Amino acid sequence: MERLLEGGQTCGVPRTEGTCREMLKLRQALWTLLRHEAVEPANNPAERATLPRGLWRKGSFGTQSTEASSFVEAIMTVVATL
């Protein structure tokens, strides 16, 4: 990951270069959850509960109909309760 961020600093896309530089400034904090067993990967239980829905929504660009939204609600309920 750090090698990718280091390479991203000179990728030719100013916004990406800046993001990589900023993330590298925080490199020690990035890996805290790996070094300390008590640190959880998300801030709190509520955030962890919504993470799968947020990732799905971001990756699929949402739904285009009421029926699709209902389907997603049902599937996400199944995923959350299993």
**Digit-coded pLDDT (tens) for 47-63:** 767 777 777 777 787 78
| pTM value > 0.75 | no
Residue 53 CB neighbours (<10 A): 15
Q: How far apart are CA 41 and CA 44, in angstroms?
A: 9
Residue 35's pLDDT is 81
Tell me the residue length of the chain: 82
Q: Which range has highest mean pLDDT (15-19, 41-45, 60-64)?
A: 15-19
C-alpha distances out from residue 25 to 9, 14, 49, 73, Å:
12, 17, 29, 39
Percent of the chain with pLDDT over 90: 33
Q: Given this model, what pLDDT does residue 13 score?
A: 95
